[in-house]
Structure 1
């Protein structure tokens, strides 16, 4: 006789309302629950934990009985958190991050200048800006180690919200749910071109002026491209690219070698500008001046000493 997959079995009956055994939120049940969250199914979670799927199912069922609520929507292809599950997962992430923070504080009390800072950033900050600042920071605090993950804005936000990184470095147009902003600074979009371009000596240009020249543009998935499309639509302008890429630096390299123009913020271009490879001219269009550089953390968590110190270091790096 075939048996149903643990990820698609019927949910357990809920217990009558009673006093919650809070120890269940600190035990193996919570660890198994979070593994299901990450894996998306009981079977895959069990494989990662090297236990039987029935053991994982029992622990998840125990949590649901104690909390008197279902935590997952059980679907044919796996398990997806419902609203109650989202709340519990957020609690678990904050609790484990708090443990990490306490451990680092204990090391600091012993005079050990050690710790780690886990970063996630969009491409414009991941290639040069953050590695340079991390290296400078380690000159003063050599015991601090860094890890850096690169992704699109939505991926950076996910990593921050789920506590997989300490800090997310990106650009934003509006406040985001589930994140706290540790540092915010204007990051207007600039028109980027070769130093010998006809517009390179202008103090300011408009999108209408820029569109008279060949364009190197990010692809439609880019938040920058979406912002450009919104501004052009408002003004009745049409964007047409002679060169397109889903990465920033091929665009910058292309305009450095041609008479085309691309778009970027100053922070991501800093080394190219200092080297004289390209020139950046401010745009006067309203939407191009509404972006902000942000350093984000998970809402409700306390940053480690190392992460807080690096935020201060970032603040100084923005104005140099």
Structure 2
């Protein structure tokens, strides 16, 4: 976890964005001073502090004005996106529950990293003490910051309960946009590093079951061989939770089985390949001694371990049984955890329906085998899911490209994962959801 001071420094970028955007638009400190009613000396000082914070110069200083350089253009892109998120949050707050506030005034207030960071931390932890510990603030300091924010917004942002603080319904849009703001700040700094020749930054991937066995790990290994300073976090959870976290910027993309586009129009899907669902059991299972192709009707009364009811693999299995005029099997165990599935298969007579990619290594060892069953078109698309309108930073683009290459060229061969033990500066975490 980053040190609280590091988070605070990163969030300070927000304080200077209004001045930066004005100078970028007008091309002049003098004209910017007239536009935002700040002294020219204050604007110059703010720009200097922003450049010191980011570690790069953002403008070419010329006699006739100031022109954005490559670093400035990168910051300008993220700054526009940050400004749009905050304006949407302010507009929503100012039109809800008869609140009569000026959205522009509220936008300037929310362009304060400290207030937004306190709000997001409280939403995540629900406790003043835990928030203070994360941000390096006292409990009273957190309480005072929240009180000032709520006073400025004109309504409570949290419901006070015996268990802690819960984000109010009216404040949910603010939380969504605030998290996206901090994701943009994080990506901004990664892009500046890439312009300096160092591709680094932290990428958080929502890992659905199919990709966890080989495809995603292999892509990560290839990425870290090229860019050992990149940091990867993975989150393993139900699709609905990952989609929610993707929507607010807590994770950068999801890899795995795609859902119908109409389920969430704020997300966009990129199919990489079509996967075939198959039926598996342990080696020496009684059904393995059945001669020829096994009819589906014979499997209706078998004991099953299956993924969740709304998962693409489960839907594919149900479609196969339905096409044959059969009712779908009811699972004895329902789980999407691969470790649970593998161990139950190996130590019982349970069957499962999933992708061969998920059980690849157990099949090569001979612990698990595929049954000779004709399921028909039991297919599902596998690919990448991103938030609509996102602008991936270089590190994320590099990982996405590795996934595309592997899924296009390396699906069948099963060579050992490359050795990255000698790569220096690698930080790879597993950020598992409950």
Q: Is TM-score (shorter-chain normalized) higher than 0.5? A: yes
Superposition deviation, residue 250 in structure 1: 4.0
Quote the Cα distance in structure 2 between the aligned partners of 1:215 and 1:24.
59
Residue 23 of structure 1 corresponds to: 108
**Deviations, residues 257-287 of structure 1 (Å, cap 9, x unaligned):** 666531111332333344554344675356x
Give the structure with the higher percent helix.
Answer: 2
| 5+ long unaligned stretches in structure 2 | 1-96, 411-434
Q: Which moved more, 1:153-162 or 1:222-231?
A: 222-231
Alignment partner of 1:270 is 2:360:
yes
| 5+ long unaligned stretches in structure 1 | 1-11
Superposition deviation, residue 139 in structure 1: 1.9
| Alpha-carbon distance change, 223 to 183 in structure 1, aligned in 2, over 3 angstroms | closer
Superposition deviation, residue 252 in structure 1: 3.5
Aligned pairs for 1:61-210 (under 5 A) are 61-65=150-154, 70=155, 72=157, 74=159, 76=161, 78-82=165-169, 85-175=171-261, 176-177=263-264, 178-194=266-282, 197-198=288-289, 202=293, 207-210=296-299
1:163 is paired with a residue whose SS is: coil
**Deviations, residues 46-75 of structure 1 (Å, cap 9, x unaligned):** 66553325414323314423xxxx574736
* Contact 1:170–1:293, Cα closer than 8 Å, also in 2: yes
Q: Which moved more, 1:140-149 or 1:42-51?
A: 42-51
Superposition deviation, residue 310 in structure 1: 0.9
* Contact 2:304–2:332, Cα closer than 8 Å, also in 1: yes
* Contact 1:117–1:166, Cα closer than 8 Å, also in 2: yes
* Contact 1:120–1:168, Cα closer than 8 Å, also in 2: yes
Residue 7 of structure 1 corresponds to: none
* TM-score after normalising by structure 1: 0.74
Structure index of larger Rg: 2
Residue 293 of structure 1 corresponds to: 382
* Contact 1:200–1:279, Cα closer than 8 Å, also in 2: no
| Alpha-carbon distance change, 195 to 13 in structure 1, aligned in 2, over 3 angstroms | closer
Residue 311 of structure 2 corresponds to: 223
**Deviations, residues 3-34 of structure 1 (Å, cap 9, x unaligned):** xxxxxxxxx99445575342212113322222
Superposition deviation, residue 224 in structure 1: 6.1
Select 1:34's aligned residue among 104, 120, 124: 120
Superposition deviation, residue 98 in structure 1: 1.7
Residue 8 of structure 1 corresponds to: none
Q: Which moved more, 1:102-111 or 1:116-125?
A: 116-125
2:256 is paired with a residue whose SS is: strand
**Deviations, residues 222-276 of structure 1 (Å, cap 9, x unaligned):** 7368537854578442525577656334433554566653111133233334455
Q: Which moved more, 1:303-312 or 1:270-279?
A: 270-279
Residue 252 of structure 1 corresponds to: 342
**Deviations, residues 185-241 of structure 1 (Å, cap 9, x unaligned):** 333321123566246975xx76435336x3331376773685378545784425255
| Alpha-carbon distance change, 277 to 200 in structure 1, aligned in 2, over 3 angstroms | farther
